[in-house]
Amino acid sequence: MMPLFEYRCSDCGVRFSQLVGMTADSREPRCPKCGSTNANKLISRFQRARSDDDRLDSFEDAALASADDPVAMSRLMREMGKELGEEGEQDIDEYLEEAEREIYDGTDADE
């Protein structure tokens, strides 16, 4: 079992995680977005390891209950993005922003 540490890149601001071995490791954390090694270690809460299936199953009932409520569905999707990690969260945020533009402005980003 290896500990997972979270970092924030000082150059581009991306938050990322890195597995760290139990022995002394000379590798510096490297930002997956910009490649910088200029990162600060973050204090993070303890998280129990769960499989992807377990994480998705935990949202199934909430998704069914939120199906007719766009605000609740948006909130649920943001929570799901957090469970998927930094990349998933960014993807879902972009999707929701585009959907909100279409709903409120009547514009489609693909047009």
pLDDT in tens, 28-87: 888 999 999 999 998 766 555 666 666 667 666 666 666 677 777 777 777 777 776 767
Residue range 84-100: average pLDDT?
A: 77
pTM (whole model) above 0.85: no
Rounded distance between C-alpha atoms, residue 41 and residue 29, angstroms? 9
Q: Which of 24, 26, 6, 23 is nearest to 15 (CA)?
A: 6
Find where tokens 């910088």 sit.
Answer: 36
pLDDT, residue 10, reads 95
Rounded distance between C-alpha atoms, residue 21 and residue 23, angstroms? 6
Residue range 78-104: average pLDDT?
A: 77
Q: Which of 57, 98, 108, 51 is nearest to 74 (CA)?
A: 98
Q: Lowest mean pLDDT of 81-85, 89-93, 99-103, 107-111, name the range.
A: 107-111
